[in-house]
Amino acid sequence: MSRFFVVHTETPWDGLGTGQISHIRLLSLKSVFKSYPIIEQPFFNDLSYKIKDYIHYSSMKTIRRIMGPNNEDYDIVDWNFIWAFDKERRMYQFLFQNIKEKEESQAILVALAPPELAKLLSKHGEGAILRTLSLLNDPSTIKFVMVLYAKGKSIAEEQKAVTFNKRYLERLRQADLLSKMPNIQGQWFPSIQPRCPVCNALMTVNGYKVVFGKPICPKCGYGKIE
């Protein structure tokens, strides 16, 4: 079992729009704490205000897939990823899963990077988490903050849809082939009845098409015993 989440995201700095996907590994906080820390909504509200007021705060839709420590895929809609640098050139990466408790929105701090930051939080606990989050909302100490959200359906969902469509089209193709097979008088199998050597009509035995006996031509009477 891995201890890492992996975020698949289009590169936010990709001004050419090539759609290149980066894979970012983040350490699961379940390996640091007994349970995931819960972050209250005011932190995200403050961050939203900073995005509106400061040019070095931004948000965009770039997340394409999120995989858990057991390679499980998640619905990317309820996730966001914060990527930041402070003016001392320290990097911060946080992965959050949004939840709603009654009428209040909250978020679980699921994973982070770099691992050194996890060691710091493990050593100093809740106080270190609060100080770090406060730092992200301080424009004077931050070089940039990017908040990344989901972009459309996840890559995993799209792959499932493509697989389903391929199977469906294959079934349609097979049905089409069956419908075009040699089909005499509505039967799924070609008739094995002999044809009359005189008039070429299908021959029967006493009016039945599939029986054992001597065939008789219903058209010219060939084979009939006088």
Q: What is the pLDDT of residue 216?
A: 64
Q: What is the pLDDT of residue 167?
A: 60
Task: Please give the structure tokens belonging to residue 93.
Answer: 């990466």
Please tell me whether residue 25 adopts helix, strand or coil conformation.
strand
Sign of torsion over alpha carbons 104, 105, 108, 114 = negative
Burial of 136 (0-12, 13-18, 19+ CB in 10 A): buried
DSSP codes of every residue in 33-100:
SSSPPEEEHHHHHHHHHHHHH-TTEEEEEEEEEEE-TTS-B--GGGEEEEEEEETT--EEEEEEEEEE
Please tell me whether residue 17 adopts helix, strand or coil conformation.
coil
CA 139 and chain centroid, separation? 36
H or E segment and range at residue 219? none
Q: What is the pLDDT of residue 48?
A: 94
What is the spatial distance between Cα 78 and Cα 106, in angstroms, rounded to a whole number? 11
Q: What is the pLDDT of residue 98?
A: 92
Domain limits, the chain: 4-153, 192-220
What is the spatial distance between Cα 196 and Cα 166, in angstroms, rounded to a whole number? 47
H or E segment and range at residue 21? strand 21-28
Please tell me whether residue 168 adopts helix, strand or coil conformation.
helix
Q: What is the pLDDT of residue 223?
A: 64
* Residues of the chain by 3-state class (helix, strand, coil), percent to 5: 30, 35, 40
What is the spatial distance between Cα 195 and Cα 181, in angstroms, rounded to a whole number? 20
0.85 exceeded by the pTM? no
- pLDDT digits 0-9 by tens, 71-122: 999 999 999 999 999 999 999 999 999 987 666 778 999 999 998 888 888 8
Are the C-beta atoms of 4 and 23 separated by less than 8 Å?
Answer: no
What phi and psi, each to the nearest 5 degrees, are found at residue 147?
A: -110, 120
Closest CA to 112 of 39, 19, 13: 39
One digit per residue, pLDDT tens: the chain, 226 residues? 578 999 999 886 665 466 688 899 999 998 888 889 999 999 999 999 999 999 999 999 999 999 999 999 999 999 999 999 999 999 999 999 998 766 677 899 999 999 888 888 888 888 888 899 999 999 999 999 999 999 988 877 766 655 545 565 666 666 666 555 555 444 444 455 666 766 766 655 544 344 445 566 666 666 655 4
Are the C-beta atoms of 56 and 145 separated by less than 8 Å?
Answer: yes
- pLDDT digits 0-9 by tens, 30-43: 888 888 999 999 99
What is the spatial distance between Cα 171 and Cα 87, in angstroms, rounded to a whole number? 59
